[in-house]
């Protein structure tokens, strides 16, 4: 056999053990990017596609090439298997069989299919768990054993898919399967609980703003009142950060209390007397890094609310200029701003630099550089202002 005719596939993984690149001898390299551990963008040569998710569901895919662009809306089942698609016109989608097999060839604009996953372009297999294990829809089993089997949550059959019941169960992680119906009911219950929480939010906000106002009067500080967190942002945080546990979100109603650094300890004592749980974030060794106090308060409505307590230097470090200027006196703001400018720093950059650090789609080099800049920035904001 001619060696050039042998098809070889190559797979690369990132530092979080997620599939980041796949390539075969007959295809160009496919680069894969993630947001909140969910596949969001693929780049193949001059072509790219982006997947849009909302509320834990796959909604649409955008395909872009040098000579065309197309957005496709997707309809899917409880297990996220795509059953219909629409762009400029209705796109024919051949439904998958129970274990994900179909014969549709959509290589020019591949759409997600079985359980909302994209098939590997070289093999047609589904690389579940962001590349953890390859599932073969033709053989109806995995190609490799589960590290959680046979004694863990993976089950006794280390190669089997969903214990032989792909209709009522799905396995997006490649490890343990979930009941499709119970997952749908759980999402419904979570949404319903979130609606209840938002009915409690106005009263919770009034209570936490009133408490912050009294503390501001006592310690000659100021309060930055924030609007309620948007429901979609709260839902995203519940799903991606708390694993669907609505009881853990504590910042639907929130505000920021500004007091002098020397008064923060006294404020913390007063908040504890009000039953608040306190999380103190100290600066890193050498004075670098974000610092502050986050207080979680159980309001009379039953909703958790958050009050952040900061000194003025953290406000000018984190907040946009218009917010910081409105929260501080003109003399105080101008004093801090001019001191930072004289030393080569701009105010309000802390949060934007932090967003680069936490963006898993950025390269490690870019994130490390941003982390170094963040330590230096907060090091000045924490220590430089103290020496005034």
DSSP structural state of residue 111: P
pLDDT at position 387, please?
Answer: 38
208-266 confidence digits (pLDDT tens):
999 999 999 999 999 999 999 999 999 988 887 887 888 899 999 999 999 988 899 99
What is the pTM for the complete model shown?
A: 0.54
10-46 confidence digits (pLDDT tens):
899 998 889 999 988 767 788 999 988 889 999 988 8
**What is the full DSSP assignment across 121-177?**
TTT--EEHHHHTEEEETTTTEESS--TTTTTSTT-S-SS-SGGG-TTTEE-SSSS--
Query: Do 255 and 225 meet the contact criterion of CB atoms below 8 Å apart?
Result: yes
Residue 334, C-beta contacts closer than 8 angstroms, at least 6 positions apart = none
* SS percent in the chain: helix, strand, coil, step 5: 35, 25, 40
- How far apart CA 37 and CA 16 sit, in angstroms, is 9
Q: Measured at the alpha carbon of residue 193, what is the angle toward residues 189 and 197, in degrees to the nearest 5?
A: 170
Query: Do 234 and 55 meet the contact criterion of CB atoms below 8 Å apart?
Result: no
Query: Do 114 and 2 meet the contact criterion of CB atoms below 8 Å apart?
Result: no
DSSP structural state of residue 382: I
Most confident of the ranges 92-101, 159-168, 197-206: 197-206
**Dihedral sign computed on CA atoms, order 20, 175, 243, 54:** positive
Give the β-pairing of 38-44 and 90-91: unpaired
pLDDT at position 104, please?
Answer: 63
Residue 289, token pair as written in the block = 């890094």
Q: What is the dihedral of CA 156, 160, 165, 171, to 10 degrees?
A: 100
Residue 239, C-beta contacts closer than 8 angstroms, at least 6 positions apart = 55, 56
DSSP structural state of residue 380: I
Q: Where are the domains of the chain?
A: 6-145, 185-384
Model confidence band, residue 109 (pLDDT cutoffs 50, 70, 90) = low
Give the β-pairing of 277-281 and 292-298: antiparallel
Residue 333, token pair as written in the block = 């703001």
Is 96 in a helix, a strand, or coil?
A: coil
- How far apart CA 350 and CA 370 sit, in angstroms, is 10
Is 114 in a helix, a strand, or coil?
A: helix
- How far apart CA 148 and CA 133 sit, in angstroms, is 12
Most confident of the ranges 27-31, 122-126, 272-276: 272-276
């Amino acid at each position: 056999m001619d060696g050039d005719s042998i098809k070889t596939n190559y797979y690369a993984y990132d530092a979080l053990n997620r599939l980041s690149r796949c390539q075969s001898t007959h295809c160009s390299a496919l680069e894969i990017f993630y947001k909140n551990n969910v596949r969001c963008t693929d780049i193949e040569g001059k072509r790219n596609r982006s997947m849009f998710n909302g509320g834990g569901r796959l909604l649409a895919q955008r395909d872009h090439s040098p000579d065309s662009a197309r957005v496709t809306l997707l309809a899917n089942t409880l297990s996220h298997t795509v059953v219909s698609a629409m762009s400029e016109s209705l796109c024919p989608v051949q439904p998958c069989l129970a274990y994900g097999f179909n014969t549709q060839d959509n290589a020019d604009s591949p759409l997600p299919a079985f359980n909302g996953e994209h098939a590997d372009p070289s093999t047609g297999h589904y690389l579940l768990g962001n590349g953890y294990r390859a599932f073969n829809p033709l053989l109806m089993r995995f190609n490799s054993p589960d590290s959680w089997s046979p004694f863990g949550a993976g089950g006794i059959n280390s190669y089997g898919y969903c214990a032989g019941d792909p209709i009522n169960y799905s396995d997006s992680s490649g490890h343990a399967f979930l009941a499709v119906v119970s997952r749908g009911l759980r999402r419904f219950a979570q949404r319903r609980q979130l609606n209840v929480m938002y009915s409690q939010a106005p009263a919770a906000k009034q209570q936490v703003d009133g408490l912050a106002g009294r503390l501001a009067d006592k310690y000659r500080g100021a309060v930055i009142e924030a609007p309620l967190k948007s429901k979609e942002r709260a839902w995203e945080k519940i799903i991606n950060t708390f694993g669907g546990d609505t009881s853990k979100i504590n910042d639907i109603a929130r505000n920021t209390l500004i007091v002098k650094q020397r008064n923060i300890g006294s404020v913390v004592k007063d908040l504890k007397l009000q039953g608040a749980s306190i999380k103190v974030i100290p600066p890193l060794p050498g004075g670098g890094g974000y610092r502050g106090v986050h207080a979680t308060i159980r309001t009379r409505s039953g909703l958790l609310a958050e009050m952040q307590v900061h000194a003025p230097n953290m406000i000018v470090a984190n907040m946009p200029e218009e917010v910081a200027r409105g929260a501080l006196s003109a003399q105080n703001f101008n004093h801090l701003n001019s001191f930072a400018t004289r030393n080569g720093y701009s105010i309000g950059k802390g949060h934007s630099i932090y967003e680069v650090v936490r963006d898993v789609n950025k390269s490690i080099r870019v994130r490390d550089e941003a982390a170094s800049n963040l330590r230096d920035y907060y090091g000045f904001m924490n220590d430089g202002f103290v020496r005034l």
